[in-house]
Amino acid sequence: MTKRLLPLLFLLLTTAAATAASYEEGKQYQRIIPESPTVSTTDKIEVVELFWYGCPHCHRFEPVIDRWLEHKPANVEFVRLPAILNEKWEIHARVFYTAEALGVLDKTHLPLFEAIHSQRRKLDTEDSLMEFFKGFGVKEEDFRKTFHSFAVDSKVRRARELGRRYNIHSTPSIVINGKYRTDPGMAQGQASETMTVVDFLVAEETRKAAR
């Protein structure tokens, strides 16, 4: 099957499910004006999850995201982006990019949510987060050096700017191709319904790209 046919196949498979409900701009999703640049540099349709480790709603949303990722369309690029809605949230954005730079993000992402929300650990300082990372084999020197690195600083600034461009006021939120924003609140308070709205918007973007 050619690469050109794959998006069309996805469109056929998802249209019945994603458009069965009547999703309307201003209700189940909002248009981002002006459109924002995407985070990734691929030509795929980008789906960005904005989250905060301290958010209990984000903690409950992660299993929904993981189930969706198991069947993610081939023409979709998924990106996690830490939201920074105030200065208190910056440290968790910084630790996300620290984990990414150290190559341990896959190991620490869900456990950090669990430690904060299920184990009630107060992980909101550099020292407490460093101790958490030690449990994953990260040396203190490596953690601190990366935590304060120029590369992490740059990504934190970029995350803050993108949050502003997306006009994010709550988490979790999902942004599709820098053009549309949805969240569980807009999707009738249902996390799973949020991803159906995402599939609907991905199908719309796929349709436009196929013209």
Q: What is the pLDDT of residues 9-33, one digit of tens each?
A: 554 455 444 444 579 999 999 999 9
User: Do 57 and 172 meet the contact criterion of CB atoms below 8 Å apart?
Assistant: yes
3-state secondary structure of 25: strand
Are the C-beta atoms of 10 and 73 separated by less than 8 Å? yes
Report whether pLDDT(2) > 70: no
Q: pLDDT tens, 56-93?
A: 999 999 999 999 999 998 999 999 999 999 999 999 99
Question: Where does the pLDDT of residue 38 fall: very low under 50, low under 70, confident under 90, or very high at 90 and above?
Answer: confident
Q: How many CB atoms lie within 10 A of CB 34?
A: 8
Is residue 209 within 8 A of residue 203, CB to CB? The reply is no
pLDDT digits (tens, 9 = 90+) for 159-186: 999 999 999 999 999 999 999 999 999 9
- pLDDT at site 7: 52
What pLDDT sits at residue 21?
57
Q: Are strands 76-82 and 180-182 parallel, antiparallel or unpaired?
A: unpaired
> Token match 């954005």: residue?
93
Which amino acid is located at 176 in the chain?
A: I
Q: What is the rounded distance in angstroms from the CA atom of residue 159 to the CA atom of residue 162?
A: 5
Residue with more model confidence, 141 or 189: 141
* CA pair distance 175, 142, nearest whole angstrom: 33
Q: What is the pLDDT of residue 192?
A: 84
The predicted pLDDT at position 197 comes to 95
Contact indicator for 169, 175 with CB cutoff of 8 Å: no
What is the pLDDT of the chain when averaged over all its residues? 90
Complete edge-to-edge strand list for the sheet that includes strand 76-82? 30-31, 180-182, 173-176, 45-51, 76-82
Domain map of the chain by residue range?
5-209
Inform me whether the pLDDT recorded for 114 exceeds 50: yes
What is the DSSP track for 41-69?
-SSSEEEEEEE-TT-HHHHHHHHHHHHHH
> Do residues 58 and 52 make contact, with C-beta atoms less than 8 angstroms apart?
yes
pLDDT at 16: 44
pLDDT of residue 184: 93
The pTM of this model reads: 0.88
Of 3.40.50.2300, 1.20.1250.20, 3.40.30.10, 1.20.1730.10, the CATH number of 5-209 is 3.40.30.10
As a whole-number percent, the residues of the chain with pLDDT over 70 amount to 90
Query: For residue 147, what are the CA distances in angstroms to 20, 106, 140, 184?
Result: 46, 17, 10, 32
DSSP 149-185: -HHHHHHHHHHHHHHHHHT--SSSEEEETTTEEE-TT
